[in-house]
Amino acid sequence: MLEKFEKLQLVWLALILALGLIFAVKVGTNTVSKDSITVTGSAYQIVKSDSGRLEIELNARKPDKQSAYNTVKNQLPVVMKYLEDKGITDIEVKAASGYNTYKYTPNGNMTNEIAYFNLSQLVIIKSDDVQKIKEISTDIQQLLDKGIDINVRSPEYFYSKLGDLKVKLLQDATTDAKDRATAMLKATHNKPGKIQAVRMGVFQITPVDSTNVSDMGINDTTTVDKKVTAVANVVFRIK
Protein backbone atom coordinates (compact mmCIF):
# COMPACT_ATOMS: atom_id res chain seq x y z
CA MET A 1 0.00 0.00 0.00
CA LEU A 2 2.78 2.35 0.95
CA GLU A 3 4.63 1.50 -2.25
CA LYS A 4 1.55 2.37 -4.35
CA PHE A 5 1.18 5.68 -2.49
CA GLU A 6 4.80 6.57 -3.17
CA LYS A 7 4.38 5.75 -6.87
CA LEU A 8 1.26 7.93 -6.97
CA GLN A 9 3.21 10.82 -5.43
CA LEU A 10 5.91 10.41 -8.04
CA VAL A 11 3.31 10.47 -10.81
CA TRP A 12 1.72 13.68 -9.42
CA LEU A 13 5.13 15.26 -8.97
CA ALA A 14 6.09 14.45 -12.55
CA LEU A 15 2.78 15.84 -13.78
CA ILE A 16 3.25 19.07 -11.82
CA LEU A 17 6.79 19.47 -13.17
CA ALA A 18 5.58 18.88 -16.71
CA LEU A 19 2.81 21.46 -16.39
CA GLY A 20 5.28 23.89 -14.89
CA LEU A 21 7.63 23.39 -17.80
CA ILE A 22 4.84 23.94 -20.32
CA PHE A 23 3.79 27.12 -18.49
CA ALA A 24 7.38 28.34 -18.38
CA VAL A 25 7.81 27.77 -22.11
CA LYS A 26 4.52 29.56 -22.79
CA VAL A 27 5.52 32.56 -20.70
CA GLY A 28 8.97 32.62 -22.26
CA THR A 29 7.52 32.57 -25.77
CA ASN A 30 5.22 35.51 -25.00
CA THR A 31 8.11 37.50 -23.55
CA VAL A 32 10.22 36.97 -26.64
CA SER A 33 7.37 37.95 -28.94
CA LYS A 34 7.00 41.18 -27.00
CA ASP A 35 10.69 42.02 -26.92
CA SER A 36 11.51 45.50 -28.14
CA ILE A 37 14.41 47.86 -28.54
CA THR A 38 14.43 51.61 -27.94
CA VAL A 39 16.77 53.67 -30.09
CA THR A 40 17.41 57.39 -30.41
CA GLY A 41 17.86 58.72 -33.92
CA SER A 42 18.81 62.21 -35.03
CA ALA A 43 19.03 64.30 -38.16
CA TYR A 44 20.15 67.83 -38.92
CA GLN A 45 20.37 70.32 -41.74
CA ILE A 46 22.26 73.58 -42.21
CA VAL A 47 20.04 76.43 -43.40
CA LYS A 48 20.59 80.08 -44.24
CA SER A 49 18.23 82.67 -42.77
CA ASP A 50 16.02 84.37 -45.33
CA SER A 51 14.91 87.41 -43.31
CA GLY A 52 16.28 89.71 -40.67
CA ARG A 53 15.11 92.20 -38.06
CA LEU A 54 16.95 95.05 -36.35
CA GLU A 55 15.93 97.39 -33.54
CA ILE A 56 17.41 100.89 -33.43
CA GLU A 57 16.86 103.13 -30.41
CA LEU A 58 17.14 106.91 -30.54
CA ASN A 59 17.88 108.56 -27.20
CA ALA A 60 17.84 112.06 -25.74
CA ARG A 61 18.63 113.35 -22.26
CA LYS A 62 17.54 116.95 -21.76
CA PRO A 63 16.65 119.24 -18.83
CA ASP A 64 12.95 119.04 -19.69
CA LYS A 65 10.51 116.80 -21.56
CA GLN A 66 9.87 119.22 -24.44
CA SER A 67 13.55 119.59 -25.24
CA ALA A 68 13.99 115.83 -25.25
CA TYR A 69 11.04 115.34 -27.63
CA ASN A 70 12.31 118.05 -29.97
CA THR A 71 15.76 116.46 -30.07
CA VAL A 72 14.43 113.02 -31.03
CA LYS A 73 12.01 114.61 -33.49
CA ASN A 74 14.91 116.29 -35.29
CA GLN A 75 17.06 113.12 -35.23
CA LEU A 76 14.43 110.78 -36.65
CA PRO A 77 14.47 112.16 -40.24
CA VAL A 78 18.26 111.71 -40.36
CA VAL A 79 17.93 108.06 -39.33
CA MET A 80 15.06 107.47 -41.77
CA LYS A 81 17.06 108.91 -44.67
CA TYR A 82 20.02 106.73 -43.78
CA LEU A 83 17.82 103.61 -43.83
CA GLU A 84 16.10 104.58 -47.08
CA ASP A 85 19.48 105.19 -48.72
CA LYS A 86 20.38 101.65 -47.69
CA GLY A 87 17.31 100.34 -49.50
CA ILE A 88 15.25 99.55 -46.40
CA THR A 89 11.51 99.99 -46.98
CA ASP A 90 10.00 98.01 -44.09
CA ILE A 91 10.40 100.53 -41.27
CA GLU A 92 8.25 100.74 -38.15
CA VAL A 93 8.55 103.72 -35.79
CA LYS A 94 7.29 103.03 -32.29
CA ALA A 95 5.87 105.64 -29.93
CA ALA A 96 8.45 107.48 -27.86
CA SER A 97 8.68 106.79 -24.13
CA GLY A 98 10.52 108.56 -21.34
CA TYR A 99 11.06 109.08 -17.64
CA ASN A 100 12.46 111.65 -15.23
CA THR A 101 15.78 111.40 -13.44
CA TYR A 102 15.79 113.26 -10.12
CA LYS A 103 18.55 115.11 -8.33
CA TYR A 104 20.18 113.81 -5.16
CA THR A 105 21.30 115.62 -2.06
CA PRO A 106 24.99 115.46 -1.02
CA ASN A 107 24.14 112.73 1.52
CA GLY A 108 22.58 110.55 -1.20
CA ASN A 109 18.85 111.19 -0.72
CA MET A 110 16.70 111.63 -3.81
CA THR A 111 14.82 114.93 -4.12
CA ASN A 112 11.70 115.91 -6.05
CA GLU A 113 13.73 118.18 -8.32
CA ILE A 114 14.15 116.92 -11.88
CA ALA A 115 17.76 116.66 -13.09
CA TYR A 116 16.86 115.75 -16.66
CA PHE A 117 14.32 113.91 -18.76
CA ASN A 118 15.23 110.67 -20.62
CA LEU A 119 13.46 109.93 -23.89
CA SER A 120 13.84 107.00 -26.28
CA GLN A 121 12.17 106.06 -29.54
CA LEU A 122 12.39 102.63 -31.11
CA VAL A 123 12.72 102.10 -34.86
CA ILE A 124 12.35 98.53 -36.16
CA ILE A 125 13.50 97.52 -39.62
CA LYS A 126 12.96 94.23 -41.47
CA SER A 127 14.34 92.88 -44.72
CA ASP A 128 14.65 89.66 -46.71
CA ASP A 129 18.24 90.70 -47.42
CA VAL A 130 19.95 89.35 -44.30
CA GLN A 131 23.35 90.64 -45.37
CA LYS A 132 21.93 94.16 -45.54
CA ILE A 133 20.56 93.82 -42.01
CA LYS A 134 23.95 92.57 -40.84
CA GLU A 135 25.75 95.45 -42.55
CA ILE A 136 23.44 98.11 -41.11
CA SER A 137 23.78 96.68 -37.59
CA THR A 138 27.44 97.71 -37.57
CA ASP A 139 27.50 100.60 -40.05
CA ILE A 140 24.70 102.66 -38.51
CA GLN A 141 26.95 103.58 -35.61
CA GLN A 142 28.40 106.23 -37.94
CA LEU A 143 25.36 108.31 -37.06
CA LEU A 144 27.05 108.93 -33.71
CA ASP A 145 29.47 111.14 -35.62
CA LYS A 146 26.50 113.32 -36.56
CA GLY A 147 25.63 113.84 -32.91
CA ILE A 148 22.77 111.35 -32.81
CA ASP A 149 22.55 109.33 -29.60
CA ILE A 150 21.69 105.90 -30.93
CA ASN A 151 21.76 102.32 -29.64
CA VAL A 152 21.68 99.36 -32.00
CA ARG A 153 20.46 96.07 -30.60
CA SER A 154 21.66 92.70 -31.84
CA PRO A 155 20.10 91.78 -35.20
CA GLU A 156 17.79 88.77 -35.39
CA TYR A 157 17.75 86.31 -38.28
CA PHE A 158 14.92 83.93 -39.18
CA TYR A 159 14.24 81.01 -41.53
CA SER A 160 10.71 81.05 -42.96
CA LYS A 161 10.53 77.40 -44.11
CA LEU A 162 11.18 75.93 -40.68
CA GLY A 163 7.78 74.18 -40.51
CA ASP A 164 8.41 72.10 -43.65
CA LEU A 165 11.97 71.38 -42.59
CA LYS A 166 10.87 70.03 -39.21
CA VAL A 167 8.63 67.45 -40.89
CA LYS A 168 11.48 66.25 -43.10
CA LEU A 169 13.95 66.09 -40.22
CA LEU A 170 11.57 64.04 -38.09
CA GLN A 171 11.28 61.51 -40.92
CA ASP A 172 15.06 61.43 -41.29
CA ALA A 173 15.55 61.03 -37.52
CA THR A 174 13.16 58.05 -37.48
CA THR A 175 15.04 56.47 -40.38
CA ASP A 176 18.30 57.03 -38.53
CA ALA A 177 16.83 55.31 -35.46
CA LYS A 178 15.94 52.26 -37.57
CA ASP A 179 19.41 52.13 -39.06
CA ARG A 180 20.92 52.23 -35.58
CA ALA A 181 18.58 49.50 -34.35
CA THR A 182 19.51 47.34 -37.36
CA ALA A 183 23.21 47.71 -36.58
CA MET A 184 22.70 46.91 -32.89
CA LEU A 185 20.64 43.78 -33.58
CA LYS A 186 22.82 42.42 -36.37
CA ALA A 187 25.06 40.49 -33.98
CA THR A 188 22.02 38.69 -32.54
CA HIS A 189 20.69 37.77 -36.00
CA ASN A 190 17.57 39.83 -35.29
CA LYS A 191 16.29 42.97 -36.90
CA PRO A 192 13.84 45.77 -36.03
CA GLY A 193 10.22 45.18 -36.87
CA LYS A 194 7.20 47.42 -36.60
CA ILE A 195 7.35 50.64 -34.65
CA GLN A 196 5.63 50.34 -31.27
CA ALA A 197 6.06 53.92 -30.10
CA VAL A 198 7.69 57.17 -31.17
CA ARG A 199 8.53 60.15 -29.01
CA MET A 200 9.84 63.25 -30.72
CA GLY A 201 12.38 65.36 -28.90
CA VAL A 202 12.54 69.14 -28.98
CA PHE A 203 14.22 70.88 -31.89
CA GLN A 204 17.60 72.51 -31.41
CA ILE A 205 18.16 75.51 -33.68
CA THR A 206 21.71 76.60 -33.00
CA PRO A 207 24.69 78.30 -34.62
CA VAL A 208 26.41 75.87 -37.02
CA ASP A 209 29.41 75.15 -34.77
CA SER A 210 27.46 75.06 -31.50
CA THR A 211 27.12 71.86 -29.46
CA ASN A 212 24.65 73.32 -26.98
CA VAL A 213 21.39 71.50 -26.27
CA SER A 214 18.48 72.24 -23.99
CA ASP A 215 15.58 70.19 -22.64
CA MET A 216 13.34 73.10 -23.63
CA GLY A 217 14.88 73.41 -27.08
CA ILE A 218 17.02 76.20 -28.52
CA ASN A 219 15.87 78.78 -31.06
CA ASP A 220 18.88 80.79 -32.14
CA THR A 221 18.20 84.10 -33.88
CA THR A 222 21.72 85.56 -33.64
CA THR A 223 23.31 83.91 -36.69
CA VAL A 224 22.55 83.88 -40.40
CA ASP A 225 23.57 80.23 -40.85
CA LYS A 226 21.81 77.85 -38.50
CA LYS A 227 21.91 74.15 -37.68
CA VAL A 228 18.45 72.62 -37.19
CA THR A 229 18.53 69.28 -35.34
CA ALA A 230 15.68 66.85 -34.69
CA VAL A 231 15.70 63.84 -32.34
CA ALA A 232 13.34 60.86 -32.29
CA ASN A 233 13.15 58.13 -29.64
CA VAL A 234 11.69 55.06 -31.37
CA VAL A 235 10.62 51.71 -29.89
CA PHE A 236 10.85 48.85 -32.41
CA ARG A 237 9.54 45.31 -32.07
CA ILE A 238 12.37 42.81 -32.46
CA LYS A 239 11.82 40.15 -35.10
- Residue 225 sits in which domain range? 35-48+161-238
- pLDDT, position 159: 97
Question: Would you say residue 8 lies in a domain?
Answer: no
- pLDDT, position 142: 85
Are residues 165 and 225 located together in one domain of the fold?
yes
The domain total for the chain is: 2
Distances from the Cα of 168 to the Cα of 138, 163, 174, 175, 185, angstroms: 36, 9, 10, 11, 26
pLDDT tens, position by position, for the chain (239 residues)? 444 444 444 444 444 433 343 333 333 222 223 589 999 999 999 999 999 999 999 999 999 999 999 999 999 999 999 999 999 999 999 999 999 999 999 998 999 999 999 999 999 999 999 999 999 999 988 898 888 999 999 999 999 999 999 999 999 999 999 999 999 999 889 999 999 999 999 999 999 999 898 989 999 999 999 999 999 999 999 98
| Whole-model pTM over 0.85 | no
Tell me, what CATH number does 137's domain have? 3.30.70.360
Alpha helices per DSSP H over the chain: 2-33, 65-85, 130-139, 162-185
Are residues 168 and 128 located together in one domain of the fold?
no
Are residues 177 and 103 located together in one domain of the fold?
no
Question: Would you say residue 220 lies in a domain?
Answer: yes
Are residues 151 and 65 located together in one domain of the fold?
yes
How many CB atoms are closer than 10 A to CB 47? Answer: 17
Which residues is 54 bridged to in the sheet?
Answer: 125
